[in-house]
Amino acid sequence: MIPYNQQFLVFDTETEGLNLLYSRPWQISWILADQNEILTEDDLYIDLPDFDLSPKVRALTHFNEEHYNREKLPPLEVYNRFAADLYNEKFLIVGQNLLGFDIFIFDILARLAGRPLDHSYVDRIYDTRPLCLAHKEGLKGPRGGRMIDWQFKVLNDRSLKAKVSQGVLLKFFNIDHNPVFLHDAAYDIKMTWEIFKRVKKSLDL
């Protein structure tokens, strides 16, 4: 069981594309929260050389070039600010599809910042995708063993067919949201946090 006084880090990235080896992140957003409320919010933009988003990605993420150019920071500064919270072991880490996407994107940020890869934080991840997949398929939450191992087991079970995109889950849990704002990391993390609170209760985590 997650302790009643546990604190959480919820994060998301926006990227140039979906390539897990080469698509660079240009936005990373995270909140720190306790069981009841959001404590802090951060939303940082990453200065990338030769940065040029496709029209499709610009439209999907509501990219504002003027805002990006005004707010962008060097990769090392963004890395250091985020890593200070990510590697703080007092936080459990929450996100949508972290295990299938964002952990790889964080590796790309580390390389851009000239920092070594360090996956020690991964054991603290609670990914809403496998959690909600288990919930919608009627599976019980983990009982014993490592949480991370159970999540990967659920993700790799090809017999599980439930749809667990963020938009689908927001409707499934009747969470009030504006679809227009989805795919902006700063908005998505708040929606993911609402999803996590509901699935945490349903799986008795």
pLDDT in tens, 62-87: 899 999 999 999 999 999 999 999 99
CA end-to-end span of the chain, whole Å?
Answer: 5
Q: pTM of the entire structure?
A: 0.96
Q: Hey, is 94 helix, strand or coil?
A: strand
User: Among candidates 81, 93, 97, 87, which has minimal Cα distance to 9?
Assistant: 93
User: Within the chain, what is the greatest distance between any pair of CA atoms?
Assistant: 50
Q: Which of 11-15, 58-62, 165-169 bottoms out in mean pLDDT, i.e. has the lowest? A: 58-62
Indicate whether 27 pLDDT > 90.
yes
Q: What is the mean pLDDT of the chain?
A: 96
The domain segmentation of the chain, as residue ranges, is 7-202
Indicate whether 36 pLDDT > 90.
no
Map tokens 């994060």 to a residue: 11
- What pLDDT digit, counting tens, does each position of 113-161 carry? 999 999 999 999 999 999 999 999 999 888 888 999 999 999 999 999 9
**Residue 142, pLDDT score:** 84
**Residue 51, pLDDT score:** 92
Tell me the average pLDDT across 98-120.
98
Indicate whether 169 pLDDT > 90.
yes
Give CA–CA dist 166/172, Å, rounded: 10
- Record the tokens describing residue 189, joined without a space: 């993390």
User: Among candidates 38, 93, 89, 43, which has minimal Cα distance to 64?
Assistant: 43
- Record the tokens describing residue 188, joined without a space: 């998505």
User: Among candidates 133, 192, 131, 187, which has minimal Cα distance to 14?
Assistant: 187
Is domain 7-202 in CATH 3.30.420.10, yes or no?
yes
Q: Which of 42-51, 84-93, 134-143 bottoms out in mean pLDDT, i.e. has the lowest? A: 134-143
Residue 77 CA to chain centroid, in angstroms? 20
- As to burial, measured by CB atoms within 10 angstroms (0-12 exposed, 13-18 middle, 19+ buried), residue 10 is buried
